[in-house]
Amino acid sequence: MKADALRGHLDALLLAVLDNEPRHGYAIIEALQERSGGVLNLPTGTVYPALRRLERAGLVESAWSTVGGRERRTYQLTTAGRRTLSAERSAWQEFASTIGAVLTPRPAAG
């Protein structure tokens, strides 16, 4: 998938994989890969700065935890993050529906 295709959607994708449970950074990357059937393989240099930006915006919060014997920063949604994710999902549904209506072939007028 082209990186340009993700522009503007990365934050929503990160919030979505944090919806059900807190995760550390690498687990977030793995969840994106798994949920996308391997299509989304984002580098850490893309994911970690975005997580820090989301944290500064108050949409996620982080804490250090021990995972598999290693200290890792674990991220989870805040209340504001859940509201933002809900709004992003609604906006995505509207966008996808609109674009789908335009791109779906129509029978020739006849």
| Beta strand spans in the chain (E) | 23-24, 60-67, 70-77
- Give the tens place of pLDDT for each residue, 32-88: 999 999 999 898 999 999 999 999 999 999 999 887 888 999 999 999 999 999 999
C-beta separation of 25 from 72 below 8 A? yes
Confidence of residue 8 (pLDDT cuts 50, 70, 90): confident
- Give the tens place of pLDDT for each residue, 18-36: 999 999 999 999 999 999 9
* DSSP-derived pairing of the beta strands 70-77 and 23-24: antiparallel
Q: Which domains does the chain have, with CATH numbers?
A: 3-101 (1.10.10.10)
In terms of Cβ atoms closer than 10 Å to its own Cβ (0-12, 13-18, 19+), residue 22 is middle
Give the C-alpha separation, 73 to 57, whole Å.
17
